[in-house]
Structure 1
Amino acid sequence: MIHDLITIGRISVDIYPNDIGVDLEDVTSFGKYLGGSATNVAVAAARHGRATAVVTRTGDDSFGRYLHRELKKFNVYDSFVCPVARLQTPVTFCAIKPPEDFPLYFYGRLPTAPDWQIAADELDTAAIRDARVFWSTVTGLCQEPSRGAHLAAHLARPRAALREGQHTILDLDYRPMFWDSEEDAREQVARILPHVTVAIGNDKECAVAVGVGTPDEQADRLLAAGVEIAVVKLGPEGVMAKTATERVVSAPVPVETVNGLGAGDSFGGAFVHGLLAGWPLAQILDYANAAGAIVASRLSCADAMPTPEEVTSLLADRGRLVPGTAAPGTPEAAESGAATAGVIK
C-alpha cells in the first residue's frame, strides 16, 4: 500500500477542560481526546480523504489501547504504532482561555516518552520511501533514539529520488521545554533541512531554525538551505509562502476562537491535501487557513478536524476562492453559479 501521507512523531491523550475561560485548578470536568501534533496532522489529512499513517509509540496501557481505537475511528493506519514496555502513554492537559491563552501541560514526557523511543531499525523504510508525502517535526529531533530514526527516515527518501508530486515536509514545531537550548535545536534542524522540500513554522519556530529576521528573510534562509516551499505563519496577518519564483500571502479567515491549539495541525493536513491535489499555492494556503480556522472555533483537536465540505463552505461564506472554482466576480464565476461553491475538482 502506498500512503498519501505518513507522519512520524508525537501522540498523546489530550485532556481538555469542559470549562472555558478558567485556570486549570478551577476546572471541574474534562474531555478525553486523541492528540499529538504529528498524529493530528495524519487525522486532518484523513478527514480530507487521504490515505494516512502515523509512525509513533504509546505505553503498553489502557491509554495506548484507547489511542489505537481512535486512530482506527479516524481512518489512520495504525500498524506503525506499537507499545513501549515500562513507559506510560503521555497525557497533555491544557487550560482554554480564548482568544489567545491556551497553556499546555505535558505529563509523562520527561525524561522520555514512548514516541521518543522510535528506533531507526524499526522503521518501514520502504513505506516511508514510497509515501507521497512524509511529515516530521522538530520535536522528534530532541533526543535519541528518535533523532536517529528521523534522520534515517529522511535518508530513506533522498531528494534526488523523489518522484514528481512527492514531498517531504518538516514542521518546525519547537517546544522549548524539550530542549537544552535553542542552539541545540538549530543544530538538529540544520541536519534535516537539506532533506526536505517544504518547511512550515511560525515566527518563533523559524527563528529557532534559521535565525531572527523578517518573514521574508526567514523564508529566504529556508530556501537557501534547500527547501522548495517555505511557509511562514504570520499570526493575525495570515500566512506567507515563498518559492524560488513565487511569493504568496493568504489573509486569515476570521472566526470566534474557542481553542487555538489544533489549528496548526488542521492547517498542516489541509496543506498536504491541497499539495497532493496540485492546486496553485495561493489556493492551498487559503484552504489550509480555513481548515485551521474551523478547528480554532472548536474545543478539541483531532475530533474537530473539518471535512472538505466544511472548509469549502467557510471559504464560500467569506467570499474566498474555493479550489476548483473561478474567482468571485469573474465571468467564469457568474456562469458556474452558486451550485458549485462547495465543489473541489
Structure 2
Amino acid sequence: MAAVVLLGDINIDLVLAIPAYPGVGGEAIATGQTAMIGGSATNTAFALAKAGHDCRLIGRLGTDSWGREALSELAAAGISTRWIGRDDREPTQINVITVSPAGERTMFAYRGANARLSATDVDPAAFAGAALFHLSGYALLEPYQTESALTAIDIAVDADIPVTLDIPGGVVADIVAQIRALLPRVDTIMLGSADLPVLLEQPGAEDEEKLVAMLLESGVRRVAMKGSDGKPSCLYRTGKTARAPWFPVEVVDTVGAGDAFAAGHIHGRVTGLTDPDCCRIANAYGAVAVTRKGAGRAMPTKDEVLEFLKKADDPT
C-alpha cells in the first residue's frame, strides 16, 4: 500500500455521554465515559493504517503519561512515531467532548504540546517515497504549528507529492487567510458546505457550484464537499463533478466522522479509484464511523467499510 504523511493534532479524547446540556453554572451527570486517543490527523492515520497504508504522523506530545499512552497506541496501530516530538513545557492535548443522545458532539480543548510543533520538527526524510501529504486544518490555528505546516507543504510540493487539506467544521473563520494563501499549492481541499461561503467571504451565498468554481479558480485542483443528512458528497474538478449519496445510518457518535471521510478519499485516491468511487468510499467510511463510540482506534477498517458497501448494494 501507499506511504502517506500526515501532520496535525495528537490528543486524548475524554468523551462524556450526557442526557441534556445544563445551563450556565449547572451540572450534567454523564451516562457514559470513554478515554481514547484522537486528533483530526491522528484519526485519519488510524483509518489509513487499518487499510494497510504506511502512515507517517508528524506531531508533538507532552512528556506526561498521556503522551506515553498515545505513543504506545500509535505504535500498536502500525503508525510511525519516528517524527513525533515530545515537549517538556506543555502537556499532551486533552479534549473534553460531550455527546448528546442524538450523537452530536460538543468539544472543549486545550491544544497544549500540539501548538508548539515547529518548522524544525518537520524532517524531509518523512516524505521519502510518499504518495500523498495530508494536513489537518487545526494545524493552522497557532503560529508555530502553522510554520510546521508550511514547511511540510514546501517539502511535499518540491517533491511533487499531492497535498490534501481537511477543514474541520467550526474553525474555518479563524484560518481563512492561511487557507486562501495555501490554495494554489493544495491538490484537494475537504470541507463542509456550511464552511464554503465563510472561506470565500461570501456570507449568505447558497449556490454551491458557483462557490466551488470560485475556489477552483483560486488554484486548488479538487474540492471534496462532505456529505451528510441525506446530502450527497461531491468531488469537483474544473469541468467535472462526481457525486455519491450519503448512507442512512443510526448515528451513535459524530466524533471523527470527517476524519474518516478524509481517510476514505485518500484511500481511494492513492489506490486509483475513480472520482465517483472516491466519493462513495469516503461516505462509507464516515457512515461506519458515526455508528460507534469515539474515534482513534475505533476508526473503521477497510474490510468493515467494504462489507458495509456490499450490504448497501444488496440489503437482502
Distance between the aligned counterparts of 1:34 and 1:131, measured in 2? 25
The match for 2:12 is 13
List aligned pairs for 1:105-124, cutoff 5 A. 105-106=108-109, 108-109=110-111, 113-124=112-123
**Of residues 293, 299, 307 in structure 2, which corresponds to 1:305?**
299
The answer on whether the counterparts of 1:22 and 1:95 sit within 8 Å (CA) in structure 2 is no
1:235 equivalenced with 2:228 (yes/no)? yes
Give the count of matched residue pairs: 307
The match for 1:266 is 260
Percent identity (aligned): 25
Distance between the aligned counterparts of 1:289 and 1:234, measured in 2? 7
2:313 counterpart SS class: coil
1:288 partner letter: A
Stretch moving more, 297-306 or 203-212: 203-212
The match for 1:150 is 149
Stretch moving more, 55-64 or 205-214: 205-214
The answer on whether the counterparts of 1:4 and 1:52 sit within 8 Å (CA) in structure 2 is yes
1:44 equivalenced with 2:37 (yes/no)? no
The match for 1:61 is 64
1:221 counterpart SS class: helix
1:210 equivalenced with 2:200 (yes/no)? yes
Distance between the aligned counterparts of 1:127 and 1:226, measured in 2? 26
List aligned pairs for 1:190-229, cutoff 5 A. 190-212=180-202, 213=205, 214-229=207-222
- TM superposition shift of 1:223: 1.3
Where structure 2 has 5 or more consecutive residues not aligned to the other structure, the ranges are 22-26
- TM superposition shift of 1:245: 3.2
2:3 partner letter: D
- TM superposition shift of 1:207: 2.8
2:105 counterpart SS class: coil
2:222 partner letter: I
The match for 1:293 is 287
| Structure with the largest fraction of strand | 2
Q: 1:79 to 1:126 in 2, by over 3 A?
A: closer
**Of residues 187, 202, 216 in structure 1, which corresponds to 2:177?**
187
The answer on whether the counterparts of 1:129 and 1:157 sit within 8 Å (CA) in structure 2 is no
Stretch moving more, 96-105 or 190-199: 96-105
The match for 1:90 is 93
- TM superposition shift of 1:158: 2.1
Question: CA RMSD of the aligned region, Å?
Answer: 2.3
- TM superposition shift of 1:22: 4.3
- TM superposition shift of 1:3: 6.1
1:27 counterpart SS class: coil
2:102 partner letter: P
Using the size of structure 1 for normalisation, the TM-score is 0.83
1:58 counterpart SS class: strand
Where structure 1 has 5 or more consecutive residues not aligned to the other structure, the ranges are 321-337, 339-345
Q: Who wins on radius of gyration, i.e. which is larger?
A: 1
